Chains A and B, each alone.
Chain A
């Protein structure tokens, strides 16, 4: 089954304790992205990746890191989480990074609900 998976789905942690949220897709997609969703603020992009070893900042990158060592995986790293990073996180992927219309539909993972105490 074609899908985007995220782990963990739920996480409660404490301020300053490094954590990684994994994202994996089995569709051979080039483009991957991380979003956070907060009430009243909608979905906001954190980081994106056009392909392996190519990553760049989105709208709200502060406090996050990413890497793209393999095409299928795009982990999100919080090196020193803070309470303002409590949110619902989504990973998404799309076939193309070139912008051609047939490849730009983004498919979302199931989400990771993170609480930082």
Chain B
């Protein structure tokens, strides 16, 4: 099982719709979860982080975490063409001394005008 898995997409939604991006992780002890957005050829930029079970909202973005199911998702409401990018799920592994992020391979989102 891959450590962090995402559907590669592409996920295509019409402008104004809700985009739903999903991520599962294998390390049950993981404690920190991040969503990054990456435009082609650019660096990842942080959208949200979440640590506790439940929902966390920030503007048009909502992150959802379910540690029992080892599942984290990102909802984008009122999707805009400018949201078209690859979305990376990242998980900070528990234990050890390397506080690295383990990234999924990303989901390509296309928002159609």
Contact status B42-A111, CB under 8 Å = yes
Contact status B34-A105, CB under 8 Å = yes
Interface residues of A, count at CB 8 A: 28
Q: B residues bordering A, Cβ < 8 Å? A: 31-32, 34, 41-46, 49, 51, 88, 90, 92, 97-101, 103-106
Question: How long is the Cα–Cα vector from A98 to B99 in the complex, in angstroms?
Answer: 8
Question: How long is the Cα–Cα vector from A41 to B103 in the complex, in angstroms?
Answer: 10
Interchain Cβ contacts within 8 Å, total number: 57
Shortest CB–CB separation between residue A38 and chain B, in angstroms?
10
Cross-chain contact of A90 among B44, B49, B100 (Cβ < 8 A): B44
Binding stretch for chain B, among A43-51, A63-71, A76-84: A43-51
- For residue B34, which residues in chain A have a CB less than 8 angstroms away from its CB? 105-106
Please tell me if A25 contacts chain B, counting CB pairs below 8 Å. Answer: no
Shortest CB–CB separation between residue A14 and chain B, in angstroms?
23
